[in-house]
Structure 1
């Protein structure tokens, strides 16, 4: 049975997920930073894992302001803005240094730093977070969907911006991706003055 991965809409649950990622794992700082980068850039997990250290940091460990990549799934160009996660990335750099993790990958495997953490490994991390917090809708796309949902709600429902950030080609695809269920639609409609 396929799991229905949804965005985290509740800020308290989001904080619980972030705390769990950071504090309940040996490589918690890495797991947390993956989530934060995925949420802020709206990248697919495959693209987050493929980021290299020199994509994000200069040779002095300073976070770059933007990163240019091509999405793995679509091949489309994507310009990532890193300012929203600069602080998280700076803390992550310190964690890498203090743990003497040297790799070309931004998010190396802790068992073999010649490789990046795999999507399957990160799925297991998110599944464990779901088990620990009794949440049945977490998966590797949670970070991307949560970021998209937060941009959508905090940008006054700017679907064009969200579409662009997700690199989607249709509004319908983006609305479905946002997990706008009937309750969400009704809540939005309740705030409309139809005159």
Structure 2
């Protein structure tokens, strides 16, 4: 498995959104939900429609799941941009059933596969000129990177990611590397 980076440049994030929205609302929603939730791709791809909307087809306020990897409960609010992306996407799927996968593949009824999600993200990244290694884990790392940059709260992020130490969280989201690079670049004898 190749090491992937977060998308650090907000302009590149917006460009990715534009490219994905222009090609497929499902792919756009997958990207927006991923970078705003910090969920692992396995949990994103396991989401069902009834995880995000109620029986009246109204957007839920929170996503409540059991993480596939850890078996731990995950409960977080749906923010404005994620909610908007979900609504726009579901408007394109008028005949959905509540127990269907949220991110459905072209194969009727099957969830989108990790390899397909990887391909979607890599093609969009290439189109917007992202040179770093991009993968499905980039979504989670992008969330972490920008959450840390905004809040500087490594303890909260460590808790969200279920990491054992702050140093692991900082290394995971690429902050340690950024800080090391900055130290080298600012050191001139």
TM-score interval (norm. to shorter): 0.7 to 0.9
Q: Deviations over 1:38-78 (max 9, x none)?
A: 11110000000001101110122211111221111111211
Selected match of 1:179 from 147, 151, 174: 174
Contact 1:78 1:167 in 2 (8 A): no
What is aligned with 1:59?
Answer: 55
1:20 alignment partner in structure 2:
19
Alignment pair present for 1:117 and 2:107: no
Contact 2:35–2:140 (8 Å) recurs in 1: yes
Q: Which has the higher contact order (CA 8 A, sep 6+)?
A: 2
Count of aligned residue pairs for this structure pair: 181
Among residues 165, 175, 180, which one is paired with 2:160 in the alignment? Answer: 165
For the residues of structure 2 that align with 1:77 and 1:183, how far apart are their CA atoms? 32
Name the CA distance, whole Å, in 1 between partners of 2:174 and 2:25: 28
Following TM superposition, where does structure 1 have runs of at least 4 consecutive aligned residues deviating by more than 6 angstroms?
A: none
Aligned pair 1:43/2:42, yes or no?
no
1:89: which partner in 2? Answer: 86
What RMSD in Å do the two structures reach over aligned CA positions?
Answer: 2.1
1:148 aligns with 2:144: yes
Partner of 1:108: 104
Match for residue 70 of structure 2 among 56, 69, 74? 74
TM-score normalised by L of structure 1: 0.84
Give the unaligned 5+ runs of structure 1: 189-195
State the secondary structure of the residue aligned to 1:164: helix
Q: Deviations for 1:74-115, whole angstroms, at most 9, x for unmatched residues? A: 112111221341111111221222xx4556111111232x21
Distance 1:144 1:63 in 2: 22
Q: TM-score, length-normalised on structure 2? A: 0.86
